[in-house]
Amino acid sequence: MPSTLNSLRTLSDPTRARLMNLLQAEELSVAEIQEILGMGQSRISTHLAQLKRSGLVQDRRVGKNIYYSWTPAGPIKEPELRSLIRLAVGDMPEAASDRSGLKHVLSKRRNRTREYFNKLAGKFGRSYCPGRSWQGLAYLLLTLFPPVDVADLGAGEGTLSQLLAKRARKVIAVDISERMVEVGTQLAKEQGFTNLEYRLGDLEEPPIADSSIDLAVFSQALHHANSPSKAIAAARRVLRPGGRLVILDLLAHSFEQARDLYADLWLGFSEVQLLHLLEQAGFRESEVQIVSREPNSPYFQTVLATGVR
């Protein structure tokens, strides 16, 4: 078994045994190993190269750094390899200092992360952070979405409907535009959604049976309704007892061009208006809050309102 014999020969060197002892606990960069062992980079790299040739370690490049770790399926089975390493370093006086050095290096890693977020505290939500997006957060929250029946009222092509359909039992997407319904239906078919149905209909008279829905949603749709009060009353009609209505819309604004640019019939709604509309329709446990503010003119704000039938 030349590979095993070659591995044993490689491990017979004290420095390589110490390296293997460190790497069984944690993936480490060459710079971190340098700090722990107090050796030059060239010497450490030479020993790591020998361990890699023997199939005992693997490397991974992250930017300018190379990290080393044990190879998952090396020439010696892991339980036996751990025993060999334990025996090899058991009587080495350097083993205790290696453990202390490893603890120190890992502590410095944690401190770097802690220092970064300490500096960011108080302005985290207002600063750029790679990978931190509302889209990503929306997908995270969708994993918590229960298997319920949903009505997306004023759905358009149904971007939200398609997201909800990934988790919901059934989604009915309603829109007044024949073309939107046609395009949405085709998209749902192409993406294989069998629980998503598009229906042509008005917000004030959605073609949905009474008391058949668990969650009704107006996502930037209520300001297109001729009568928001009738649309909300209709949403309550299709909800089952205990069902919830969610309204995501613009806060009241004075950007008159929205009527021509976006075919808006209403220039948003105040928080008090939405509360009144929900109460008037018979919803309980109503809540309204501003959830976002755009940084550029005309500085639209988004308001979220919810109520329970």
CATH code assigned at 225: 3.40.50.150
- For the domain that residue 68 is a member of, what is the CATH number? 1.10.10.10
DSSP class of 244: E
- Whether residue 265 is contained in a domain is answered as yes
State the pLDDT at residue 2. 47
Note whether residue 195 is domain-resident. yes
Rounded Cα–Cα distance for residues 30 and 34 (Å): 6
Residue 187 contacts by C-beta under 8 Å, 6 or more apart in sequence?
157, 158, 162
Q: 146 with 258, same domain? A: yes
Domain stop point among 55, 88, 121 = 121
pLDDT at 6: 82
State the 10-residue block means of pLDDT for the chain, 309 residues long. 75 92 89 89 93 92 88 87 90 87 84 67 57 65 82 88 90 92 91 93 93 94 92 96 94 90 89 90 90 88 92
| Residue 129: inside a domain | no
pLDDT at site 308: 95
Task: State whether 88 and 206 are in the same domain.
Answer: no
**102 and 203 within one domain:** no
Q: What is the pLDDT of residue 65?
A: 85
- Same domain as 66, residue 10: yes
Same domain, 185 and 272: yes
Q: Tokens in use for 7?
A: 């591995």
- Do 53 and 155 lie in a common domain? no
Say what the pLDDT of residue 48 is: 93
What domain range includes position 287? Answer: 134-308
Complete DSSP assignment for 250-289: EBP---TTHHHHS--SS--B-HHHHHHHHHHTT-EEEEEE
- Are 201 and 207 in contact by the 8 Å Cβ rule? The answer is yes
Q: Is residue 127 part of a domain?
A: no
The answer on 159 and 107 residing in a single domain is no
- The number of domains in the chain is 2
In this structure, the answer to whether residues 116 and 139 fall within a common structural domain is no
Pairing of strands 301-308, 170-175: unpaired
The last residue of one of the domains, among 93, 121, 149, is 121
Q: Write down the pLDDT at residue 1.
A: 44
How many whole angstroms separate alpha carbon 17 and alpha carbon 151? 64
Same domain? For 148 and 289 the reply is yes
**Residues 64 and 151 both lie in one domain:** no
- DSSP reduced 3-state for 188: helix
Q: Count other Cβ atoms within 10 Å, centred on residue 130.
A: 5
